[in-house]
Amino acid sequence: MKKVLILCTGNSCRSIIAEALVNAKLEGIEARSAGVRASGRVNPNARKVLEAHGIWEDRYHSKTLESVIDDDFDLVVTVCDHAKETCPIFPKPVPKMHVGFEDPDGKPYEAFEETYKQIETILLPKIEEVLKN
């Protein structure tokens, strides 16, 4: 099982959506997510879009980077520019990839649906390409 960490600033929208999508759609790859400045909450619209697609799980929650930094990952993916700029040095060398998405926080539900679709069509194939080779 390959492991990927999805890193964002607040770990409330994009990284949670990406974590759920990887876990639901990519066989042999397990995702976790965290925030460099975790908000401590999942955005209600992020949860709503995952529920609408049938992939919400109660284990998804906003986590600090410190809570996962010592875990072993095969890939670290940043999904926002701030996380990319502040991405820490991990205890062990880990390949990193950045694929940025616009933050849907504070926008209508449709923005979350669009973010879901973008992550599914843009990010998932890239993660699969890196980890399946």
What CATH code is carried by the domain that includes residue 101?
Answer: 3.40.50.2300
pTM of the model: 0.94
pLDDT at site 87: 64
pLDDT at site 69: 84
pLDDT at site 13: 95
**Which of 7, 125, 128, 20 shows the shortest CA–CA distance to 71?**
7
pLDDT in tens, 80-126: 877 667 666 666 788 999 999 999 999 999 999 999 999 999 999 99
Q: Both tokens of residue 47? A: 């949860």
Domain housing 10: 2-126
Q: Is residue 132 part of a domain?
A: no
- How many domains does one find in the chain? 1
pLDDT at site 1: 94
Catalytic residues: 8, 80, 87
Q: Is residue 112 part of a domain?
A: yes
Phi-psi region of 11 (alpha: psi -120 to 50; beta: other; left: phi over 0): left
pLDDT in tens, 14-73: 999 999 999 999 999 999 999 988 899 999 999 999 999 999 999 999 999 889 988 999
69-81: b or e for each residue (b if 16 or more CB lie within 10 Å)? eeeebbbbbbbbe
Helix ranges (H only) for the chain are: 14-25, 44-52, 81-86, 109-118, 124-132
Pairing of strands 2-8, 96-98: unpaired
